[in-house]
Chain A
Amino acid sequence: MTDAAVYRETTAQPRTQSVPLAHVSLELGHLYMEDFEGGADRLAEHFARVRPWADAVHAMAAVEARRPRVSTCFLIDDYFTRFSTPAELVPMVLAQAEKAGLTIDYLARESACAVADGTAVAEAVESRLVDSPAPGSDGSRPPARETGWLANGERAPGLETALEAMAHVAPWQPPRETGARRHSVFLDVELWDEKDGRRTWSCPFLAAVWQLARLGLLRHLGEPVLSPRSWPEAPFPRDWDDLPPVIQLNPAAAPFAAYRTWSALPTRFLPIEHAVRVLLDQIEADPQAMRQAADRAAGEGLPLPDEIPERISYVFYPGT
């Protein structure tokens, strides 16, 4: 519209806040209990292996941008198992990283991908899943959804269809990957399970939320979620719940969120990350947040793929 409106109601035109963006968000590691049980040596070995790849990521970023903004992050699992305390663990992680010549700019808690500061982040992301339609989907029926699961194609016909077709015994039919190149790699991802009324999000689902956070695409009622809070030095709290969802350890760091992400992970994470891509392929991120990132990238003259899975990359190094 050419002339600005005189009368305006803020509740009628809600704003979506933007977040600062780096070029690359580099994840230096993801710590589980079993890693922690391996002691400081295991951490040292991990960081030593990651170091050359981190250098490579920095070098690559420098090809695309003259003054590349790369931020690093580290994720600690406090969701599936609780171990140690921030006071004990965080300084140890920082020390081992430093020994390998790496700086951890941001540190995040995995449980924050489920609920951050009272906001049910995972639940909101689940509500943004839009199932990829199988060919022939004309909108007349809702997508064939298995509650708590998401697939990358059509499942093998289940009991209901089998019963209906009872008259003429239906032969077995394989599941099919939508958009498969001739042969299918069908994957069905469990989003969560429930025991005694308590829902536990699956590791791939939380990892997908984590990717969206790092891409700066999460909003709650227009406000950013999982925004880092500054916590430059020890002491760290004795309880994980007292640590903010994401803390900024390095005051000079580039922004936490970025156009693209790189994650350096041991090979055993490959199936998880395949599942993450299946999820991200079917998540409709906040359109305003998407637009903000696209506009900003265009303003910097940087190419940014529309597709979220295209924005994430990995380095898988040998190891279990």
Chain B
Amino acid sequence: MLVFAASDKGGTGRSVTSANVAFRRALAGDDVAYVDFDFGSPTAAAVFDVPEAMGGVESGGLHTYLRGKAAEPVRVDVWAETEHEVLRDRPTGAGNLVLLPGDRSGGEFAVGKDVLRRCTDLFLRLNSEFDIVVVDLSAGRSFAMDMALEVTSLPELRGVGSRWLVYHRWTRQHVIAASGLVFGSRGILAGGVARGHDEEDLANRIRFVRAAVPDPEAAPWAMVPPAQSAWMRKCDQDLNELAAQRNVGYTRMLGSIPLEPVLQWREQLITDEDVLSSRVANMETLQALKDLAQALDDDEAWGPA
């Protein structure tokens, strides 16, 4: 299954959350590929702790491949290449976890017929090999998103399942922007329909993910004076109303990841050790990531909202 990770703005938590979701699925035994189409700011290698692919690879990455200058893009076997203490010993029962990085000096570029064909071949190939293929797209209506919409509309891919996660933070501006990215006149739905997608079908394959959500009922917010706490609760309620109005409400939400101090400080994977042994990360975060990972192919969570 192809899982496209999108967001209207940068810095929403899209890459870090998606990488954690990919990691969770691999731990659960799935073969997972993480495709870094975030051509503007590649972060995946940092999250997976693969130094050689940091900020993209020198050459032979996705840009080189899509431009037709390499027969296949470089793959990084995360279990084998990571410098992360815990990840280096691949847990028993874990599936493959492979990162396909972009090129360091890559950036965006125009999509011609040949680029589309190569992207088609890439998606077909990855789909034949991996249970989950996470494609991290650049923020906003990017070239990468157009390409994803175009390729998934082709008859060649009609048998390949694809789903969209739209990430946003839990603020007014982010909720409005995320709604616009999906339902706006230049949004994913409109762009998809223009490329031959069925509107209803595509809408059923899009879900929102809230990232870095503060919980007024939990630490440290629960400690604040009553006035502040009441104000926060009111904000949270207002946001929920706004989200519902803008079609970003509960029915279209696949997951919500709490604000996590560890992630606030550092882009990284949240391991079980971080929660259970060193206890630097919160249990709620781990659980939310696990739930989101599981929801990817939980058909009850998808379909008409």
Q: Enumerate chain A interface residues (CB-CB to B < 8 A).
A: 140-142
Contact = CB atoms under 8 A, between A and B. Distances in A.
A141 B69 CA distance: 6
Nearest to B68: A141
B63 to A, nearest CB: 11
Contacts, number: 7
A141 B68 CA distance: 7
A203 to B, nearest CB: 28
Nearest to A139: B71
Contacts of A142: 68
B68, B69, B70 — most chain A CB neighbours (10 Å): B68
A143 to B, nearest CB: 11
A140 B71 CA distance: 6
A141 B71 CA distance: 7
Interface of B: 68-71
Closest 7 A/B residue pairs (Cβ): A141-B68, A140-B71, A141-B69, A140-B70, A142-B68, A141-B71, A140-B69
Contacts of A140: 69-71
Contacts of A141: 68-69, 71
Contacts of B70: 140
Nearest to A140: B71
A60 B68 CA distance: 51
Nearest to B112: A160
A133 to B, nearest CB: 16
B112 to A, nearest CB: 8
Nearest to A144: B68
7 contacts: A140-B69, A140-B70, A140-B71, A141-B68, A141-B69, A141-B71, A142-B68
A142 B67 CA distance: 12
Contacts of B68: 141-142
A142 B118 CA distance: 12
B106 to A, nearest CB: 12
A266 B68 CA distance: 45
B128 to A, nearest CB: 22
A140 B69 CA distance: 7
A49 B257 CA distance: 90
Nearest to A160: B112
A140 B70 CA distance: 7
Contacts of B69: 140-141
A142 B69 CA distance: 9
A124 B70 CA distance: 29
B169 to A, nearest CB: 36
Contacts of B71: 140-141
A81 B299 CA distance: 62
B109 to A, nearest CB: 9
A167 B68 CA distance: 21
A142 B70 CA distance: 10
A145 to B, nearest CB: 10
A141 B70 CA distance: 7
A142 B113 CA distance: 14
B103 to A, nearest CB: 12
A142 B68 CA distance: 8
